[in-house]
A and B are shown apart, each in its own frame.
Chain A
Amino acid sequence: MDSITRFFKKLALLVRREKFHSELEEEMRFHREQKEKDLRDEGMAPEAAHRAAMRQFGNGTRLKEQSHEVVGFRLETVWQDFRFSIRQLRRSPGFTVTAMMMLALGIGASVAIFAFVDAALIQPLPYKDPNRLVDVNERVALFPRSNLSYQDYVDWKKMNKVFSAMEAYTATGYLLNTPTGTEPVPGARVSDGFFRVLGTKLALGRDFYSGEDQPGAADTVILSYATWQSRFGGRNDVIGQTVKLSGIPNTIIGVLPANFQFAPRGKVDFWATLHTLNNCEKRRSCHNLYGVARLKDGVTVQAALTDMTGVAKQLEVQYPSSNRDQGASVKPLYEEIVGDIRPILLVLLGGAGLLLLIACVNVASLLLVRSESRKREIAVRGALGASPARLIRQFITEGVVLIVGGCALGLLAAYGGMTLLSKLISKDMLNNMPYLSGIGMNPHVLIFAGTIGVVAAVLFAVTPIVRLPLTAMQEGLADGGRGSAGTLWRRFGANLVVLELTVAMVLLVGAGLLGKSFYRLLHVELGFRPDHLATLQISLPELTYAKEEQVMAIGRQIVSRAAALPGVKSAGITSMLAVSGNGNTDWIRFVGKPYNGEHNEVNQRDVSSDYFKTLQAKLIRGRFFTDEEDASKPKVALINQALAKKYFPGENPIGRKYGDTALTPTSIREIVGIVDDVKEGSLDSEIWPAEYTPFNQNTDTYVGLVVRTSQDEKTILPTLGAAIHQIDPGIGTMGEATMNQRISESQTASLHRSSAWLVGGFAVMALLLGVVGLYGVIAYSVSQRTREIGVRIALGAQKSSVYRMILKEAGWLTGLGIFAGLVCSVAAATLMRKLLFGIRSWDMPTLAGVALVLGASALLASYFPARRAASVNPVEALRAE
C-alpha cells in the first residue's frame, strides 16, 4: 500500500519536475542566506560570511542531485544517461560508425557461422532418441566403414545381443514414366522396420508391415513428402493407388512427414522394401547395404562394437572364403552424418570468433582513446556534482548503447550472411546435409548473439572505467589529459595491438593454408585431361534390356551416336565415372601366385573400348582393348599402375591372368595393358589398385557417358540427353555436366572451397582491422608526443631520426605480433590439419608470405603517422601547449 502511494507521489513530482527543482533551489538559497546572515550577526565581515556560507553549504548541484535521487525514478536517470550517450555518440560520428561497423562485422560473422554449427552439430537429429541410434556396417582394411552384405545383415540381426532393432537400407534408382518423358528418380530399398527404428511416424497411410521385406511380399512403396506434393498433388486418395517404378507396378501405402530427412541417403523420392533380392544380395560375398540400429538400454557404442566384432568373427569361421577379414563397424549415427563437416564448421567458428575478438579489441582501444580525451569532461562533471556511481553508469550506458547498436546491425549482417551462405551450398550438397535446411534465427542463435552482446557490453563498460580519473579530479582538470596517463595507455593499448596482429596473422596463415590446399586439390594429378569432357549419367530400363547382348548392343549404339554428334571427337561409357568415389570393388586372385584366401580388393570398372582414348589417359604398357572383344572372345582386362606396382613388383604383368577368389574358369581374364592411375575416388582420396574390363564382356544398366569435344564442352551438354532419347525415349538420363564442373562441384572441392573463401574473407577483414588498430595506436602516440617531437626537432633532430623513432615503435609492435602470430599459427594449423591437403601445417612459403604481407601493411599503416610526426612544426607544437 505504502509503496503504491509513494509511487504516485513520485509520479506527481515527475510531472511537476520544474516546480520541484525551483522550490528546492529556493529552499537551499534561503538556507544559505540565513546562514550567511547568522555569521554576519556573529560579527564576521560580509564578504567572509558569504564565502564561509557557500563553502559550508558545499556543492549545490550535487545536493540537488541527491534530493533528486530520492524523489526520482531510477529509470529516469537511466533515460537521461541514455539520451546523453546518444548525444555523445552522435557528436563523434566517426567513432560511432567505425565502432558499430566493426562490431557488426564480428558479431555478424560469428552468429552466421554459429547458425550453421547449431543446425549441424547442436540441434538433435529429427528422430526418436537420436543418441541411441548407431550406424552398423562391416569393416575391411581399405574401408573402415564398408557395405554390409545382405546375408551378413540377416545373421547380424539374429545373432546380436546389443540392439533392440537393426535395419538395413540401400540406394537405388527408378525410371518413372512422366508426361514429359522417362525420368530417373532416386529411391531407396529398406528393411521393413527402417522407419520404426528411427521413430518416424508417417504423415499419411501406413508404415511397412513386419515381414513386408520378405521374398514374395507385394510391391509396396512409401512416398517422400516432396514427391507426394509435386507428383501426386498432395491428394489423400493417393494411398492404394499404383505407381510404375522402372515398369513394375507398386502400391502406394504411405507418405513420410514433411520434416523427414535421412542424410546418409540424401534425397529419396520412393522408399520400397528389400523384398526382391538382386543378384548381389543373394551372395554373401557381395556388399551393398548399410545398417542402422537402436542400442538396447544401457548398452554403450563400445559394447555394441565388441559384440558385433564377435559376431563378425563367428561368421568368419563359418564362411571362411566370403567373410575373411570382414570385421564390424559401429558408431553413433550422428557421427556418420556430421562427422565430415564438424572440423570444417569448428574451424570456421574459430575463425569468426577470432575476427570478433579483433573487432572487440579494436573497439575497446577506441574507447580507451576516447576516455583519455574525455578525462577533462569527466573531471568537470565530477566537480559539478556528478557522483562516481553516476559517472560509471554513464560509461556503462555508452557501452551498452554501442553494443546494442552493434548487435542489431550484427544480427542483420548475420541474417544476410546466412542467406548468402545457404545459397552458396549447392542443391546436391544440401541433399547430403538436409539438417542445414533448418538454419535460421532460432532461439539458440539468438541466445548466442545475446551472450556475445553481454560479454562485449561488460568489456566496453569496464574498459573506460578502469581509466576513469575519479580519484585525481584536480589533476584531470588542470592537465587535460597529458602526463603519466599517456604512457600508461600506450603500454596497455600497445599490448592490445600486438594481440590484434597476432590474431590477424593466425587467420591469414589459416586462409593461406586452406587456399593452398584448395589449389593443390584442384590441381591434383587426375591421370587424364579433364578439359573438353562432357558427361551424362544413363539409366537403362531393365525390363527392355534384360539380356547381356541387348545391353551390349545399346551400349554400342549410345557410344557411336554420341561420337557422331557434331564437335565430338570420341565417346566412351563406364560403369562409374572418374572422380566419383573409390568402391565398387572386386576380390581377385592371380593365376600362378600363392594364395591364402586373402581378399585382394581392387576397384572394378566396366568401360567401352574408346573410354581411355576419350579421357586421354596414358597407356603405360601393352594395349587398350577393342570394340570387337565381346563375350564371344577371350576375356581380357586392363590394370592401373597401382595394381601393377602392388601385385607385380618388378614383374611384367602383361599376359598374366587372374580370376575370382576360387579361380572359377569363367572368371579368368588376361591382363593386356597397364593404364596410368586414373583418379576414381574423390579428389583428396588415394589411388587404389583398379581393374578395367570391357563393357562388352561385362555389362551394366547404369552407366556414365563421357565425350571429348573439340569446342567448348558446355555447348554439347543440352544435346547429349536428346541424342540418347532419339535412340530410345525409355532410357533415363540425368546429371549432364562437364568433367570440370563435376570436379569443382564435388563435395570435397566445395567444402574446401567454401572453407578457404570464408576463412580468407575473415583473414582479409582481420588484416584490415589489425592494421587500422596499429594505425590508431601509432597515430595516438604521435599526437600525445607532439610536444616532445617538437622539442627534439627544435634541438636539431633530423626528419629521418623522427621517422626512425616512430617506425621503430611500430616495428616493435609488428615484430612482436608477427612472432606471436607465427607460434600461434603453427599451433592452429596443427589443429586443423584434417582440412589440409597436400600441405604441411608449417608450410614455410605460406608463413613467410603472410609475415611479409602483415609486415608491409603494418609499415604502411605506421608510415602516415610517422610522416605527420616528422613534419611537426616545432614552433607551433611548443606554442600549442
Chain B
Amino acid sequence: MPKLLLLAAVLVGAFAGAARAGAEPKIAHFTLWNGLEVVVVPDHRAPVVTHMIWYKVGAADEAPGKSGLAHFLEHLMFKGTAKNPGDTFSQQVAAIGGQENAFTSSDYTGFFQRVPRDHLKEMMALEADRITGLVLTDEVVRPELNVVLEEQNTRVANNPNGRLAEQMDAALYLNHPYGRPAIGWRHEIETLTRDDALAFYRRFYTPNNAVVVIAGDVTPEEIKADAEATYGKIAPRAEIAPRRRPAEPMQEGPRTVTLADARVEQPSISRVYLAPSSTTAKPGESEALEVLAHALGSGESGRLYRALVVDQGIAINAGANYSGTALDYARFGVFSSPKSGRTLHEVEAAIDAVLADVIEHGITAQELESAKSRLIADAVYAQDNQATLAQWYGSALATGQTVEMVEAWPAAIRAVTADAVRMAARTWLDRRTSVTGYLVNSLKPEEKHS
C-alpha cells in the first residue's frame, strides 16, 4: 500500500539538521544486540506515537540497470509475510484508526505508522516481522509494478517540472548514482522482477542496517523493553558493507538543460550547484550554506526576491534552497520565473549579479542575524510536531549523522559567522560545478510568452 512519498532531497533539506531548543525533550538512543539502532523522542502532549523504521538503503545503492528497485521494494513491503500474510499489517493499522505510509530517497527507505499509544507494541511486532519475513508472489508483484509506473507517470511523465528535474540531476552528477532518479528510469522500472526485489531485500533489509525512531507519548524504559521483545528477536542476516559510492570527478564546465513542453505557459529557470552535505561538509560549512540559502532566498526578504521581483521588477518569484541531508553530496539551488515580456536570460543575468555580489561581499550583519534566528526558531517549531522530529532524527541517522550532531545543530547555526557565509558562497557557488535548467514552451531561439 505504499502511498510512498518519494522524498525529494529538497524536502528533506528543510529539516536538514535537527534539534531542539527551549523545553528540551530527553532523547534516548541505544543499539540492540542485533545492531538495530533505536531513537526515542518523548512528547507527552497527546496519547499518540509516531513509529518509523529507516533502512540505510536507497536508490543510490541500486546496481546499474536496476534503477527504481529500492522504491519498488518499498511498495512490495506491504504485500505480507508468512506470519502476517496479505494486508494483515495494513488492516491492523486501519482497525485502530492509524495512519501509515512509506518513502524512498537516494539514501534511505522508510516506513511509518502513526497510532494511538496503546497500540505501539503491535506495530513494533509487525514491523519487526517485516524486516526479514516478506513473502512475494508474481500475483502481487505484477499489479504493483503497474502501480509504480502510474506513480512515475504522475510525478514525472505528466509533469514538465518533474521531467526537467530528472534531467538536471542526471547532468549534475557525472559519476555518482545520485544522477539516477529515486523512482527509477521508466525503461528500467518496466523490467524489474520479483527476483530482483527479493535479492535486494535479502541484501539490505536486516536489523543491523536499520534505525527505528519512536516519537510520542512513551518513555525510553518501556521502549527499550518492547524493542527487545520485538525487534530484538530478529537475527541479522547480512553483513552490511560500508556505503561507498563512486565519487564525482573534477567538474570542469557548467551544464545546461532545456526542457521544452508545449504546455508550459510560465517559463522558469533553476540552477543547482554541487555542494557538501551535512555529513561530508567540514565543521560549520553545511550550516553556513543553510544561512546563505536563507539570506539569499528564503521568502520575500531574501536577496534574490528583493532584487529580481521588487527592485528590478523582472520576475514573478525568485529564491534559493540548500538541502544538506544526504550521505554524499547535496545541492545548493537558485530559481526564478520571469515576468511576462521578460526573458530567462535577463533573469539569469540578474541572478548572477546577486550571486556575484554575495561571493564578493558576503551578507550583512542584519541578514546574518535574521537568518540565524529564523533557523533556530525552526527547531522550536519542529517540537510542535512529533512526526517532524521523528523525521529529523531518522533522516539524519540514515545519512551518516549522529544524534549528537542533530542536537548540536542550533548551536552550530548560532556559531556561523559572516566570514563563513562568504567563504561558503565563494567556494560552492562555482558555475563549473553547476547545472542550469530552463523550462520553456518550445526550443525556438528566445522564449516568447506572454
B partners with A: no
Contacts from B to A (Cβ < 8 Å):
none
